Structure 1
C-alpha cells in the first residue's frame, strides 16, 4: 500500500520502571558468559526493562491513557487495534484488545489484534487503521496499541540476535488531520524464512546475508514512493534488533551512522512491536525532531517481513 496513509496523532510510549542489566539474564535464558559478552559488546545491549509484577493490560494502558486522556470526543475512536509479535499473549479466552478498550471507556469501538507480521506488526497496524478509516467520517480515529511481555525464555531470546524487553506504545491514527502525514508505507515478506526461529543452519545463514540488503532496499523503496531521496530523510527511526544488524544496513544504504537513531538499543533492547514508537517519543521529548522534516520508521518481523514508513513531522503531539 503506497501513497498517503493518513496521519499519526498523539503518539505515546511507556516502559516499566524496573531495569535489568544484560548479565542478569544469563541464568534465566541459559546464556554462557561468552554469549552474554556477544550481546553486550557486539549487539550493543546493556540494559532492558522487565517487570514480572506488571500485567500486560496495565503495561499497554500506561501508554494508551496518555493518548486517550483529553480527547475532545472519545466516541470518535472507532477501532482499537493491538499490534503484537507474539501470537498468544494471554491465556485462551482472554482478549487483551477488548480489555484495554473497555478500561479506556471505549466500549463502543471495535477491538481486535493484528500479529502475522510479528515485530513489524506495529507499522502494519497503521496501514490497517488507515484502510479502515478511508472514506469515512474525517473525525473518526483508530487507536493502534503495541506492547507485550516476554513470558517465557522461548519468546524472550532470539538466539545470537536479541533479548526481548518490555515496552508499550499507543498511536492515534486519522484519515486526515493535523498530525504527521504518512507519505508511504512499504512491506516485503520473504516467505521462505517463515519458520525463522527454527531454520536449519544453512537457511539461517542465507537469511543473515539477505537481511541488510533487503531492509535497505525496502527503505529505499519507501523513500522513493514518498517522492523523496535518502538525503531528504532527517533520521531513520528503527526497531531495536541490535547494533550489528543496523551497522550492516547502514553500510548497504551508504549513509552516515548518525542518520539512524540507535541509542535506545543499549537502554531498552528489542521490545517487539513497540520499538519505533518508543524511539519516536524519545526523539520528540529530547527535541530532536524538526517541524516539516521527513523521518522514516523501519522494522523487521520474524517470518520475515521488512517494513518502512515515511512521515512528515508536524510538531510535538
Structure 2
C-alpha cells in the first residue's frame, strides 16, 4: 500500500479528578431514577471532570508527548485540532493556532476540524494523510489533537444516551512510516438527523432504531474495503457513548461481544472526539495490541455521522 497513512504515535491525557455520575445529578437536572438508568442500562458509572480547568491545560500534555516522538530532523507540517462542539473558545481565540504556538511549531499550518462531531478525530486522520500526500514535503508529519471541556450542562448531557466527560489525545501521522497502517476509512452521514439534540421526538426514535444497523454496516464496509473479513479483526476499538447502543450494534452484526472493547465505558464515559485514541492507549498499555493484527476504530457523531477506520498494528 504505497503512500499509506500511518499512525506513528498516539498519546492520551485524562484529568486526575474522577467523579461518580451521581455527583453530577443536580447540575445536570437528573433525578435519582434517571441516574439509575444511566448506570444500569447505559453502563455509565464514573468519569473524569475538572470544572475549574482550562481547555489548553487539558489538550497540551498529550500533544507534547506526541511531539516528543517526532524523529530527529523531521518536521510537523500540519496541526489539526479535531473537536466535537463547534465553539470552544471566545471568537478572538483560534484554538488550533494557540496549540501550534504553545508546541513551538510556528512553521506548521494549523486549523480545526469539527463538522463530523465526535467522528472528527477519524476524519482528521484521513485528511492528514491526504494533505501529506498532496502538499507536504517528503517525510513530513501531521499532528492531530483532540480534547474539550464539558463546559456547561447543555453540552455535558445527551438525554437518553450519555454523559460527556473530559479527556484529550494526540496522534502523530505520516505517510509510509513504521507505525500502524491505515487500511480503510468509511463514513456515512444521515442528514435527516442533522438537528442532533434538537431532533423531534419521532426523528429521535427513528434514529435510535436505525442506529445499530447503520453502524454495523459502516464497520463491515470499512473491513471489506480493507480487503479483510470481520473474522480477521482482533478488536473493535469504539467510542464510549454507552453499552446499550453497542449491544444493539453487536446484535445487528451477529458478532461476538468479546471482540468489542467496552471496558472503558463505565470508567471514563463518552469523551467527545477522544474516545478511540484514549481506548487505543489503554489497550497498548495493557499489552493487548498485537503486531500484525487488525483493529477497527469506530465513532458516531451527532448530526448524524458514522465512521470506521481499519488499522493494522505494527510494534516499533
Q: 1:3, 1:225 within 8 Å by CA — same for their partners in 2?
A: no
Structure 1 distance, partners of 2:2, 2:74, is 28
How far off is 1:75 after superposition? 5.7
- 1:113 and 1:298 mapped to 2: Cα distance? 20
> In structure 1, the residue corresponding to 2:151 is in which secondary structure?
coil
Structure 2 stretches lacking a partner, 5+ long: none
What residue in structure 2 maps to residue 182 of structure 1? 182
Pairwise CA RMSD: 1.4
* Residue aligning to 2:48: 49
Q: How far, CA to CA, are the matches of 2:212 and 2:3 in structure 1?
A: 26
Deviations 1:42-86 (A, max 9, x none): 011110001123211111101101111252347610000000000
Q: Is the 8 A contact 2:2 2:176 kept in 1?
A: no
Tell me, in whole angstroms, the C-alpha distance in 2 between the residues paired with 1:145 and 1:11.
10
Cα distance between partner residues in 2 of 1:44 and 1:74 = 46
- Looking at structure 1, the residues matched to 128 and 28 of structure 2 have their Cα atoms a distance apart, in angstroms, of 36
Are 1:145 and 2:145 matched, yes or no? yes
Task: Give the secondary-structure state (helix, strand or coil) at the position aligned to 1:291.
Answer: coil
For 2:110 and 2:196, how far apart are their aligned partners in 1? Answer: 29
- Report the 3-state secondary structure (helix = DSSP H, G, I; strand = E; otherwise coil) of the residue aligned with 1:9: strand
Secondary structure (helix, strand or coil) at the match of 2:142 reads strand
Do the aligned partners of 2:147 and 2:167 also contact (CA within 8 Å) in 1? yes
Specify the alignment match of 1:116 in structure 2: 115
Equivalent residue, structure 2, for 1:85: 84
1:9 aligns with 2:35: no
Q: Deviations over 1:100-155 (max 9, x none)?
A: 11111101101100001001100011111011001443310000010000111110
Partner of 2:269: 269
Determine helix, strand or coil for the equivalent of 1:216: helix
Cα distance in 1 for partners of 2:100, 2:33 equals 44
Distance 1:239 1:184 in 2: 18
Contact 1:84/1:146 (<8 A) preserved: yes
Contact 2:74 2:139 in 1 (8 A): no
- Give the conservation status (yes or no) of the 8 Å contact 1:68–1:74: no
Q: 2:305 — aligned with what?
A: 305
> 1:24 and 1:73, CA in 2 relative to 1: closer, same or farther beyond 3 A?
same
Alignment of 1:1-317 (within 5 A): 5-73=4-72, 76-135=75-134, 136-315=136-315
Change (3 A) 1:174 1:70: closer
Structure 1 stretches of 5 or more lacking a match? none
Larger deviation, residues 68-77 vs 153-162? 68-77
CA distance in 2, matches of 1:30, 1:192: 29
| Aligned length in residues | 315
Q: Contact conserved, 1:44 with 1:265, CA < 8 A, in 2?
A: yes
Aligned residues of 1:63 and 1:169 also touching (Cα < 8 A): yes
